Amino acid sequence: MSVEAKIKKLYSMADNCEICPRKCRVKRNDGNIGLCRAGNKIFISSYNVHMGEEPPITGEKGSGTIFFTNCTLKCVFCQNYPISQLGNGREVSVEELSGIMLGLQKKGVHNINLVTPTHYSAQIAKAVYEAKNKGLNIPIVFNCSGYERVEVLELLEDTVDIYLPDIKYSDNAAAYKYSGVKDYVEVNRAALKEMVRQKGILKINENSIAESGVLIRHMVLPGNIRNTKKSLDFIANELSTETFISLMAQYHPAYKSSDFEELSGSLKTDEYKEAFDYLRELNLENGWQQEI
């Protein structure tokens, strides 16, 4: 299938929307709003040169980050909740989005980093295609929750160079309780396998900059160490011990996390250490850890 045909197919999937695994069948192309609160217009909250991503994404010149408004998940601890849940942002056309990407490239960034892009997959594929026709030639990073449909990822194969997905849960009860979806584990695992099939292990060039591949993020949640260990087991046993992992310690209570006792405090040093020791026990040596 040509890139143009894939973009067309992605747009048609929003007729009765099935862009994400929620498949809420809302007629987005007629302007209706889905469970993710997205309709047929693109909303972004900001774009900038970001210096805080993992080393091969940030490099010396930064990552050209574009934050998309709304989200397919409803995480009670979301640190970006004004954007993801409260809809902060402004409308941009596909043409403007394309221009933003080219403008970021002009600033010298190492990549275009699309944050929470899933629900805008069709518009993003079109914007990237148009930008590439006008000279965009840096890697495209799909920085997502990992709650993705394999069918959509297949249509994004020509658009994306680096997948930067989360593995949030290995327990559907926790996924439902904290993010409002009952099938995160199966969906996420199938998506991660598809990402690895497409792009393989993260490739880092001689200048220490990521060029293509998959980098998986896992944020350790307080009171949920078993969830973390099962997530790491999956990566080691069903993907590869070569997989690059960003083990994140940056949890802090936000949004509705105070409704859950275990999420009301910060992550403890011991919990993060236990997660890190387990990572090493599984011989998962590629990636980055954070100071707690």
Task: Report CA-CA distances (Å) from 18 to 28, 29, 135, 186, 277.
Answer: 10, 12, 31, 17, 39
Q: Does 23 bind ligand SF4 (CB under 6 A)?
A: yes
> What is the distance in angstroms between the CA of the first residue and the CA of the last residue of the chain?
46
Q: According to CB under 6 A, which one of 17, 100, 156, 210 is a site residue for ligand SF4?
A: 17
Pick the stretch among 19-27, 124-132, 220-228, 279-287 that binds ligand SF4 (CB under 6 A): 19-27
* Minimal distance, residue 121 CB to ligand SF4, in Å: 8
Q: Does 195 bind ligand SF4 (CB under 6 A)?
A: no
* Minimal distance, residue 69 CB to ligand SF4, in Å: 12
Q: According to CB under 6 A, which one of 20, 100, 191, 221 is a site residue for ligand SF4?
A: 20
Q: Does 66 bind ligand SF4 (CB under 6 A)?
A: no
Beta strands in the chain (DSSP E): 42-50, 63-68, 90-92, 112-115, 140-144, 162-165, 203-204, 210-219, 244-248, 287-289
Nearer to ligand SF4, 17 or 112 (CB): 17
Q: Does 19 bind ligand SF4 (CB under 6 A)?
A: yes
Q: Does 24 bind ligand SF4 (CB under 6 A)?
A: yes
Q: Which of residues 35-64 bind ligand SF4 (CB under 6 A)?
A: 35-36, 38
Q: What's the rounded Cα separation, in Å, for the pair 230 and 227?
A: 5
Q: Does 26 bind ligand SF4 (CB under 6 A)?
A: yes
Q: Does 18 bind ligand SF4 (CB under 6 A)?
A: yes
* Minimal distance, residue 34 CB to ligand SF4, in Å: 2
* Long-range Cβ pairs for the range 175-182 (8 Å, 24+): 177/260, 178/75, 178/76, 178/77, 178/221, 178/260, 178/263, 179/73, 179/74, 179/75, 179/76, 179/147, 180/73, 180/74, 181/21, 181/22, 181/73, 181/147
User: Residue with structure tokens 């990237």?
Assistant: 128
Pick the stretch among 12-20, 103-111, 179-187, 226-234 that binds ligand SF4 (CB under 6 A): 12-20
Q: Which of residues 101-160 bind ligand SF4 (CB under 6 A)?
A: 119
By beta-carbon distance, which residue lies closest to ligand SF4? Answer: 34
Q: Does 28 bind ligand SF4 (CB under 6 A)?
A: yes
DSSP state letter for 119: G
Task: Report CA-CA distances (Å) from 35 to 16, 22, 83, 212.
Answer: 12, 8, 15, 31
- Give the interface with ligand SF4 as residue ranges (CB under 6 A): 17-20, 22-24, 26, 28, 34-36, 38, 72, 119
